[in-house]
Amino acid sequence: MSLQKDNDAMARLYTESVDDSLLDEIRKYLDDRGAAVTKEMEARRAAGEEVYYGVPATDGIIEDLQRFGMDGIKSLEDFKASEAASEYSDAYKDANGFRPRDYHWSDHSADEWEKIINDLYEDAREQEPEKEEPYEHKNSDEPVNDMEQAFAAIGESVTRPKSVYQEMSELYTEGVQSTEE
pLDDT tens readout for residues 52-84: 888 888 999 999 888 888 888 999 999 999 999
Convert the pLDDT of each residue in 114-165 to its tens digit: 999 999 888 888 877 766 666 555 665 555 566 666 666 655 555 555 666 6
Contact 10, 69 (CB under 8 A): no
- CA-closest candidate to residue 114, choices 145, 94, 153, 86: 86
Beta bridge partners of 143: 136
- Say if residues 76 and 29 touch (Cβ distance below 8 Å): yes
pLDDT tops 80 at residue 179? no
The pLDDT value recorded for residue 68 is 85
Helix ranges restricted to H, 16-163: 20-46, 58-68, 76-96, 110-127, 147-154
pTM of the model: 0.59
Nearest-5° Cα angle at 123, 88 to 125: 105
Per the prediction, the chain carries an average pLDDT of: 78
